[in-house]
Amino acid sequence: MNIHIFFFSLTVLFISPIKNLCNLLYAVSSNLDVLWKQLPTLFCNFLYKDEDVRPFPNKLMRPKSEEELLMERTKGYWRNAALNTIADKLRQRMNFNTAKNVIFFLGDGMSVPTITATRVYMGGEEKSLAFETFPYTGLSKTYCVDHQTADSACSATAYLTGVKANLGTIGVTAAVNLKNCTAMNQRENQLDSIAKLFQLQGRRTGLVTTTRVTHATPAGLYAHTADRHWETDTDVSTLNGDVTDCEDIAHQLVFGKTGQQLNVILGGGRRGFLPREVIDEQGNSGVRSDGLNLIEEWIKFRENHNQSYQYIWNRDQLLNIQNGTDYLLGLFQSSHMNYNKERNTETQPSLEEMTEAAIKVLDKQNSSGYFLLVEGGRIDMAHHYTWAHKALDETAEFSKAIQRAVEITNEENTLIVVTADHAHTMSFSGYAARGSDVFGYAGMGTDKLPYTILTYANGPGYRPPNDEGRRYVPLPEDINEIQYQWPSVAPMEKESHGADDVTVYAQGPWSHLFTGVMEQNVIPHLISLAACVSTDIECEETDTKAP
Ligand SMILES: *[C@@H]1O[C@H](CO)[C@@H](O)[C@H](O)[C@H]1NC(C)=O
Ligand SMILES: *[C@@H]1O[C@H](CO)[C@@H](O)[C@H](O)[C@H]1NC(C)=O
Ligand SMILES: *[C@@H]1O[C@H](CO)[C@@H](O)[C@H](O)[C@H]1NC(C)=O
Ligand SMILES: *[C@@H]1O[C@H](CO)[C@@H](O)[C@H](O)[C@H]1NC(C)=O
Ligand SMILES: [Zn+2]
């Protein structure tokens, strides 16, 4: 008998079934205690070649102590926890004060699975993000006028102006089709944002974002455009717009009526404010073709109007804002700000630090209050590249910013709303053991190969099966990489948004109205009512008694 055939038969007869048994052992043991997890490693490891994929046991995060986990096995533990929650709910009183201040937190692309997975990332399934303890919660339907799934532009128009629009357009009605300048310039098609309504009452307004300040979400506060990508005059001319007719977004921020009155503008995107010939503080050149230096123009306007102002570009300056600054422009990067995991923590501020600085400038003694938009803008961008680690880390940063805002404001007079603009396609699935690292394996497929807890419906994380037709499965060293692109079912250059509803959380005056399943465009109408800036709904100013 040929020796090769002999070994081949041996493999088929014995090794294969043993390997299957081992695969099963691995899968079962990944749900057991650490000790038992060693079993398959001890008895089965010799069967595998280095390149073989096997159902590696997950790292355990074990946020809870053994004693706490034992408590969870008793009925008293769960009943007491439930009764405490009920006691909290019974203590809850509706707040009918006029909201002096409103802080609107927008997690770009912060879908429900993103929030759930971030709890585990932050230390355990039972953990809560800062906004998850807010008393009132609702769902928001995010579709836009011409598409089932929203982008950040039509979505920003809905939750900041109260009117739904077409995909890719900002601050204009759905009478404006994508890229139609003539239609975008018609006054009757332009929409006032919630910030504009605050400004009309002489109240302060501001925006904070981790993206370029001319990106879709912040632009929803101050711009009217038929194309979200017209961020600079150069973009307008390269993306078949007419520069003489279509005003770019950066220009609208500095010269537009609403943009001009914003007290706080913090984020990235410096290049859109500078001409090509100008090199910025960090050595990057501008991108404008019209020769305008919009930072200088912004300063000139403040001086002409005798306003106290500061232009800043790094973290040190942000942490040392002079008292009495009424207008603050902070541009911390040439393009978007870096992901938190990749930022230089000495020079680039965190979202939390920017939020705190913004509130300091907006919250002036004896003033009539403010509206602030804070965007965690890079949750979305991380998802587009199926970088799940970064998406969850950005969500954790977003939560920290909200935590800080809750600490330094007063629930009696400040309405805080937290929501997302649209979902993403990341799913959180399978039956991994309690306390498993969320960047781990969920179980075994019918192909006897493990699958990960996190997967995407589409995106650049797609890899074809190997030559033997075996499904791609990442190795533990792959999925521990912050830069790892998670598996996707359909190959796409960039992962798409999801169409599912997103959550809305609220605390403070009139937060009890932010409940049920609502159209996304209802949100700013509710804020207008709470802050008494509505032009459609009558409201009475009530004394909040709070400082
Ligand atoms: C652009 O909008 C204008 C004004 O609403 C309209 O007359 C024109 O037909 C539109 N152009 C296109 C290409 O849709
Ligand atoms: C500008 O403001 C300062 C301080 O409020 C004031 O002393 C000064 O007269 C003002 N100047 C002009 C030109 O209005
Ligand atoms: C700014 O104001 C705060 C609070 O009023 C005060 O504690 C602080 O010393 C002031 N800082 C400067 C530099 O004036
Ligand atoms: C605030 O208002 C009170 C009462 O109207 C006044 O006494 C106080 O000086 C004001 N403070 C500031 C900083 O304007
Ligand atoms: Zn997106």
The token duo for 221 is 């506060």
Integer Cα distance of 148 and 145 in angstroms? 8
Sheet holding 426-428, edge to edge: 426-428, 454-459, 488-491
Integer Cα distance of 336 and 412 in angstroms? 35
Q: Where are the domains of the chain?
A: 3-57+427-491, 101-425+497-531
399 CB near ligand 1 (under 6 Å): no
Integer Cα distance of 441 and 474 in angstroms? 10
Q: What are phi and psi of 105, to 5 degrees?
A: -100, 125
Q: What is the pLDDT of residue 23?
A: 62
298-307 burial, b for 16+ CB within 10 Å, e for fewer?
bbeebeeeee
What 3-state DSSP class applies to 204? strand
375 labeled part of a ligand binding site = yes
Beta-carbon neighbour count of residue 5 at 10 Å?
9
Q: What is the pLDDT of residue 506?
A: 98
Q: What is the pLDDT of residue 58?
A: 72
Options 30, 111, 140, 152, the catalytic residue: 152
Instruction: Please report the atom of ligand 1 found closest to the CA of residue 180.
Output: 1
Integer Cα distance of 108 and 217 in angstroms? 8
Q: What is the pLDDT of residue 477?
A: 84
Q: Whose CA is nearest to atom 4 of ligand 1?
A: 183
Beta-carbon neighbour count of residue 394 at 10 Å?
30
Residue 324 CA to ligand 3 center (angstroms) comes to 9
Chunked mean pLDDT (size 10), the chain, 547 residues: 55 61 61 55 62 60 76 94 97 96 98 98 94 98 98 98 98 97 97 98 97 98 98 94 91 98 98 98 97 98 98 98 96 98 97 98 91 98 98 98 98 98 97 91 88 97 93 88 96 98 98 98 97 86 56
The CATH number given to 101-425+497-531 is 3.40.720.10
Residue 325 CA to ligand 2 center (angstroms) comes to 14
In sequence order, which residues have a C-beta less than 8 Å from that of residue 293 and are 6 or more positions away?
A: 273, 274, 275, 278, 286
In sequence order, which residues have a C-beta less than 8 Å from that of residue 369 and are 6 or more positions away?
A: 99, 100, 101, 102, 198, 203, 204, 413, 531
Return the bridge partners of 490, or none. 458
Q: What is the pLDDT of residue 1?
A: 47
344 CB near ligand 4 (under 6 Å): no
Measuring CA to CA, which residue among 304, 347, 307 is closest to residue 329? 307
Helical H segments across 92-163, by residue range: 112-121, 152-161
Q: Scanning the structure block, which residue is given the tokens 């969870």? A: 72
Return the bridge partners of 375, or none. 106, 209
- Strands 136-141 and 502-507, bridge-based pairing: antiparallel
Cα 110 to Cα 79, 137, 350, 450, distances in angstroms: 31, 15, 18, 27
Instruction: Please report the atom of ligand 4 found closest to the CA of residue 365.
Output: 13
Integer Cα distance of 502 and 519 in angstroms? 11
Q: What is the pLDDT of residue 365?
A: 81
Integer Cα distance of 171 and 175 in angstroms? 12
Closest listed ligand to the CA of 368:
4
In sequence order, which residues have a C-beta less than 8 Å from that of residue 351 and are 6 or more positions away?
A: 208, 210, 340, 374, 376, 397, 398, 400, 401
Q: What is the pLDDT of residue 547?
A: 47
Cα 514 to Cα 110, 141, 158, 218, 530, distances in angstroms: 18, 13, 15, 22, 11
Is 152 a catalytic site residue?
yes
Question: CA 482: distance to chain centroid?
Answer: 17
Sign of the torsion angle spanned by Cα atoms 455, 458, 461, 463: positive
Cα radius of gyration (the chain): 26
* Candidate from 178, 180, 245 with most ligand 1 atoms within 8 A of CB, to mutate: 180
Q: Whose CA is nearest to atom 9 of ligand 4?
A: 366
215 labeled part of a ligand binding site = yes
Sheet holding 204-212, edge to edge: 309-312, 327-331, 264-268, 204-212, 370-376, 101-107, 414-420, 502-507, 136-141, 516-519
Beta-carbon neighbour count of residue 148 at 10 Å?
9
Q: Provide the whole-model pTM.
A: 0.90
The token duo for 461 is 């994380």
